């Protein structure tokens, strides 16, 4: 079985795509794996389940007696190994995970604790008698997967074979549960050779899951997979840092005399790379738990609070992490930019032949609210990202933070010929010598004001005083709050 399973693993790994939704790849791994181990053990039903006690839920996928399952799995593996043969045929739909909500009363806590103990990755592969808690789970699963349970009657006289999954720091990979009538599964553990093969199967499955999701989706060890890369609307904090006045910097590099075209292009590339690398290094620290969602030229979009275990996360800690990360980013990005001016751009050499002054600074916008996440792109190349109005809003907010003067747009109406679009001049510009504060939307400020304080020497209430702005193409007036790293109270809870 070991060599057969290793071949199966390799073929399956080569058939998966990093551009597919995680749920699609997860099912593509688990469904054929369950089918193989089901055959090997002689089980009637095979289940893979995740338990999350924080929100009282179980996510489970069942492979059982459905007559079309075997053909469906073989067809799916065939399609993945030789996709050109099925070019004109719709993709078959593999069985999916279904959600079971644990009872709200005390019995729900008992069931959850019992299942969490049974599925603990510290436990060895073993058989156990079916408890009342497991019977309750099977009854709920029968409602969700009626075709798989057809003709089966599960009782306390039966046993289940438990194969908990968890490798190294990745301890939240769920548990495989096999069922057969009476004591039929006991022989799997009585035979030492079969037991060794089960252990090899367990390790191979763990390695396959971790390898795929760490390489494809950059999965963190604490990740709860059913909530990871889920399509839909999620309440998150968005942080968008950008290089202020990037277009002007690019134009200066294009015409500057002390760099030829190739050197100027390389110089600009280094600025963008160092900028994006610094953003990722800061926000992905364990205490911030941010995720770089998109890199668009001179700006980066970062998401906070997307993968919390609770479906309605408390916005306060999420927004606080975004603000703390922004404060650290502001200072580190200034250091990176100053280093670029001195070492790569050679600012002193530039000043010898030009009277123009260059100001290089990061500009940061932060927003909080419900954001749509989806896979966008072609069938061959799909990327998971945040989309919609809030994404463009926070990008505009960052652009606004980096502007010292307002822009104007021209329309056909004489009255509207010079209509101010970005009426904003940072109030901290004169005092600090900086050109770009961190701008918070009203919602981001509401949930993070508990970590904000006044800068020494500022009038009382300065950081808590909103300013009204107008953004391009939007008739609405928005309230924003500006702050500097000195306004962030890192001692606040």
Can you give the pLDDT at residue 438? Answer: 92
Q: Name which residue leads in pLDDT, 27 or 406.
A: 27
- 363-382, pLDDT tens digit by residue? 999 999 999 998 887 766 67
The span from the CA of 362 to the CA of 342, in Å, is: 17
How far is the CA of 452 from the CAs of 444, 460, 488, in angstroms? 12, 12, 5
Domain boundaries, the chain: 2-225, 231-487
Classify 49 as helix, strand or coil.
Answer: strand
Decide whether 2-225 matches 231-487 in CATH topology.
no
| Number of other CB atoms surrounding residue 248 within 10 Å | 13
Tell how strand 159-164 and strand 438-441 pair up: unpaired
CB contact set of 399 (below 8 Å; sequence gap of 6+): 242, 299, 363, 365
Element (DSSP H or E) covering residue 290: strand 290-296
**Which of 82-86, 272-276, 430-434 shows the highest mean pLDDT?**
272-276
User: Is the pLDDT confidence value at 418 over 60?
Assistant: no
Can you give the pLDDT at residue 9? Answer: 67
Can you give the pLDDT at residue 60? Answer: 93
Assign 455 a pLDDT band (cuts: 50, 70, 90): confident
Assign 132 a pLDDT band (cuts: 50, 70, 90): confident
Assign 420 a pLDDT band (cuts: 50, 70, 90): very low
User: Is the pLDDT confidence value at 419 over 50?
Assistant: no
User: Is the pLDDT confidence value at 345 over 80?
Assistant: no
Can you give the pLDDT at residue 89? Answer: 40
- 387-416, pLDDT tens digit by residue? 999 999 999 999 888 764 433 222 333 332
Percent of the chain with pLDDT over 90: 25
Assign 488 a pLDDT band (cuts: 50, 70, 90): very high
Tell how strand 299-304 and strand 175-180 pair up: unpaired
Can you give the pLDDT at residue 223? Answer: 81
Assign 470 a pLDDT band (cuts: 50, 70, 90): confident
Can you give the pLDDT at residue 379? Answer: 62
The span from the CA of 174 to the CA of 434, in Å, is: 50
Percent of the chain with pLDDT over 70: 78
Please give the CATH topology (third level) of the domain spanning 231-487.
Alpha-Beta Plaits (3.30.70)
Nearest to 47 by CA among 152, 163, 128, 125: 163
Low-confidence winner among 85-99, 134-148, 302-316 (lowest mean pLDDT): 85-99
- 143-178, pLDDT tens digit by residue? 999 888 888 888 888 989 999 998 888 888 999 999
Assign 355 a pLDDT band (cuts: 50, 70, 90): low
Read off the pLDDT of each residue in 99-103 and give the average, rounded to a whole number. Answer: 86
Query: Is residue 95 within 8 Å of residue 30, measured between CB atoms?
Result: no
Mean pLDDT for the chain overall: 79
CATH number listed for the domain at residues 2-225: 3.30.450.40
Low-confidence winner among 181-190, 209-218, 317-326, 421-430 (lowest mean pLDDT): 421-430
Can you give the pLDDT at residue 192? Answer: 83
Low-confidence winner among 246-250, 273-277, 315-319, 452-456 (lowest mean pLDDT): 246-250
- 258-283, pLDDT tens digit by residue? 677 788 888 888 899 999 999 999 99
User: Is the pLDDT confidence value at 108 over 60?
Assistant: no
| Number of other CB atoms surrounding residue 406 within 10 Å | 14
| Number of other CB atoms surrounding residue 77 within 10 Å | 18
Assign 64 a pLDDT band (cuts: 50, 70, 90): confident
Can you give the pLDDT at residue 411? Answer: 31
Can you give the pLDDT at residue 293? Answer: 92
Read off the pLDDT of each residue in 220-236 and give the average, rounded to a whole number. Answer: 83
Can you give the pLDDT at residue 407? Answer: 38
pTM above 0.85, yes or no: no
CB contact set of 9 (below 8 Å; sequence gap of 6+): 204, 207, 208
Read off the pLDDT of each residue in 83-105 and give the average, rounded to a whole number. Answer: 67
Element (DSSP H or E) covering residue 50: strand 45-52
Query: Is residue 469 within 8 Å of residue 423, measured between CB atoms?
Result: yes
Cβ-count burial 139-159 (b if 16+ within 10 Å, e if not)? ebbbeebeebbeebebeeebb
Assign 20 a pLDDT band (cuts: 50, 70, 90): confident
Can you give the pLDDT at residue 87? Answer: 41
């Amino acid at each position: 079985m070991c060599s057969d399973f290793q071949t199966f693993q390799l073929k399956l790994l080569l058939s998966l795509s990093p551009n597919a939704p995680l749920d699609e790849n997860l099912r593509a791994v688990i469904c054929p794996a369950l089918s193989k181990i089901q055959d090997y053990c002689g089980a009637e039903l095979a289940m893979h389940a995740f338990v999350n006690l924080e929100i009282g839920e179980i996510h489970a996928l069942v492979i059982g007696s459905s007559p079309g399952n075997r053909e469906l799995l073989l067809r799916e593996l065939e399609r993945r190994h030789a996709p050109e043969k099925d070019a004109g045929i719709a993709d078959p739909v593999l069985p999916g995970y279904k959600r079971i909500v644990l009872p709200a009363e005390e019995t729900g806590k008992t069931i959850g604790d019992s299942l969490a103990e049974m599925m603990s990755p510290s436990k060895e592969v073993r058989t156990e008698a079916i408890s009342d808690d497991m019977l309750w789970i099977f009854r709920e699963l029968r409602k969700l997967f009626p075709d798989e349970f057809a003709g089966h009657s599960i009782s306390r006289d039966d046993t289940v074979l438990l194969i908990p999954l968890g490798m190294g720091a990745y301890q939240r990979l769920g548990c495989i549960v096999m069922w057969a009538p009476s004591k039929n599964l006991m022989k799997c553990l009585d035979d030492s050779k079969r037991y060794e093969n089960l252990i090899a199967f367990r390790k191979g499955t763990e390695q396959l899951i971790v390898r795929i999701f760490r390489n494809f989706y950059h999965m963190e060890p604490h990740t709860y997979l059913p909530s990871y890369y889920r399509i839909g609307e999620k309440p998150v904090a968005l942080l968008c840092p950008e290089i202020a006045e990037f277009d002007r910097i690019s134009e200066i590099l294009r015409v500057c005399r002390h760099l030829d075209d190739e050197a100027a292009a390389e110089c600009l590339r280094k600025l963008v790379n160092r900028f994006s690398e610094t953003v990722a290094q800061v926000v992905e620290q364990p205490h911030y738990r941010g995720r770089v969602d998109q890199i668009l030229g001179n700006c980066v979009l970062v998401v906070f609070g997307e993968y919390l275990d609770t479906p309605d996360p408390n916005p306060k800690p999420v927004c606080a992490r975004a603000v703390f990360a922004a404060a650290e980013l502001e200072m580190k990005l200034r250091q990176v930019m100053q280093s670029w001016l001195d070492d790569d751009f050679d600012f002193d050499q530039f000043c010898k032949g030009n009277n123009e002054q260059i100001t290089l600074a990061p500009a940061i916008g932060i927003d909080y609210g419900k954001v749509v996440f989806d896979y966008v792109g072609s069938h061959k190349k799909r990327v998971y990202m945040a989309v919609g109005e809030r994404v463009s809003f926070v990008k505009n907010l960052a652009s606004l933070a980096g502007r010292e003067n307002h822009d104007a747009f021209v329309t056909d109406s004489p009255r509207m010929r010079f209509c101010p679009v970005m009426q904003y001049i940072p109030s901290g510009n004169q005092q600090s010598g900086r050109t770009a504060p961190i701008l918070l939307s009203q919602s981001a400020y509401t949930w993070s004001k508990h970590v904000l304080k006044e800068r020494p020497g500022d009038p009382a209430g300065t950081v808590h005083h909103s300013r009204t702005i107008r953004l391009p193409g939007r008739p609405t007036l928005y309230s924003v709050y500006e702050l500097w790293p000195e306004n962030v109270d890192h001692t606040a809870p």
